[in-house]
A and B are shown apart, each in its own frame.
Chain A
Amino acid sequence: MSEVNNYAAPRSLDEAADILRAGNVTILAGGTDVMPQMKAGKLTLQPTLMNIQRIAELRGIAQAGGVVRIGALTTITEILNSALVRERFNALWQACDHFASDQLRNVATIGGNICNASPAGDTLVPLLALDAKVVLAGKPNGALATRAMPLADFFVGPGRTKRAATELVSAVELPLPPAGSVSEFFKFGTRPALDIAMISIGLGAVLDGKTLRNVRVAFGAVAPTPIRAPQTEAALEGKALVDAAIEAAVTAAACDIHPISDFRASDWYRRELVHNILQRMLVHVRDR
């Protein structure tokens, strides 16, 4: 068991960045991943435990120009209650609707889901399909600075990201999709609640008649990180959603994914799921 010898609950991002700069910090937000990982011995708490939940500027959903910013501490319940998310980022709303249980949605944060970097993380797949950027804040030179990077570049491996130990994720930014956009999400598990995805699929595109443009496809639980699917996207880009294009896309998807076999599903089963569910989603988009 690790020893915490300093507890901090900063009230501003500026203060939090100072604490991070001093080093050896475990960041606590909703705690729904920190606590079980700590108990299971997968996470050793650093000497300083920093609870960031009192930092009001990290909460909430705001639109500025063509970008919607979701603060890192925004809970899954708060995202579900957002009419803006429901109307414009339906894939994200769907993922939040299928997220764990009421008790967990009430405390789990989007920033925590991102930083936990699970290959099966529920919000990560729609965020990738919605072309999200992650915003990181820190004090590399003594002054508060932020940097943004595409979420697709952020994940390094299971539980590992490009966040520096002295940084925290302050927000996620989503470009407002143009008119005629589709945004779909599907999670496959054994029960509706409290299940970790066997596979999940996110789809974002502009539907121009029957033709897809600006196609973004993302998969969860089929690689060491949640992934964008460049070959699937290329197979669909600028194509009318006829049977041949859908077949080409699901064939390409098999090349984008690298699933493993574990207690949730075998490699073979995950491949079957991706093939069949992506096909079903594309037919659904075509026929809507």
Chain B
Amino acid sequence: MSATVDITFKLNGVERRVAVAAQMSALDMLRDQIGLTGTKYACGEGECGACTIRVDGLTVNSCLMFAVDCDGRDVVTIEGLVTSPIGEALRKSFTKNGAVQCGFCTPGLMVQASHLLEQHPHADRSEIQRGIEGNLCRCTGYKKIVDAIVDAEINAA
């Protein structure tokens, strides 16, 4: 019988207690156990960034993180991000710039962009491209995504 572990962590600002299987990924916990389906499952091996979340401020691929490792940490998903000022700025700029087509990469890109803009509030286009290198988009060709992040930068300033 697989071990179940009780963990306590902060999820989008709220303390959560969850019992998780020891080998479960943080992504599976978020989507299947907690029901927060904004974070997307795509490649499952850290290549695409669709599952990006923030853990203690840093962005990580939740598909590669063990759920048990969330214990004691501060986790923010797209659902928590959009209520923050930077999340709001990104939501508006992604919409305005048409940076969303199928939308599957959008939550991961917005979470990654929030981290980028906090660290480099005046990042130029090449720094933005570098910042989102771990996020794949198969629709837009990235130009509108970079436009949107530049735009969010201006609006957040």
Chain A residues with CB under 8 Å of chain B are 1-7, 9, 28, 30-32, 34-36, 38-39, 45, 49, 51, 53, 77, 100-104, 106-107, 192-194
Contacts and interface: CB of A to CB of B under 8 A. Distances in A.
Nearest to B132: A102
Contacts of A49: 3, 22-23, 66, 68
11 contacts: A4-B21, A6-B3, A32-B61, A36-B45, A45-B23, A51-B68, A107-B64, A107-B65, A192-B133, A193-B133, A194-B133
Contact of B45 (A30, A39, A102, A106): A39
Given A7-B22, A49-B23, A51-B68, A103 B61 contact: yes
B69 A36 contact: no
B60 interface: yes
B66 A28 contact: yes
Contact of B134 (A6, A36, A102): A102
Contacts of B63: 35
Nearest to A35: B64
Interface stretch (B29-37, B46-54, B139-147, B148-156): B46-54
Contact of B68 (A9, A30, A102, A193): A9
B46 A32 contact: yes
Contacts of B45: 35-36, 39
Interface of B: 1-3, 5, 21-23, 25, 44-47, 49, 52, 58-61, 63-66, 68-69, 71, 112, 115-116, 131, 133-135
Given A7-B68, A101-B49, A193 B134 contact: yes
Given A5-B1, A193-B133, A53 B69 contact: yes
Given A4-B2, A103-B52, A31 B23 contact: no
Nearest to B25: A35
A39 B131 CA distance: 27
Contact of A107 (B21, B44, B60): B60
B153 to A, nearest CB: 17
Nearest to B57: A106
Nearest to B65: A31
Given A7-B68, A107-B64, A194-B133, 4 more contacts: A4-B23, A30-B64, A35-B25, A35-B65
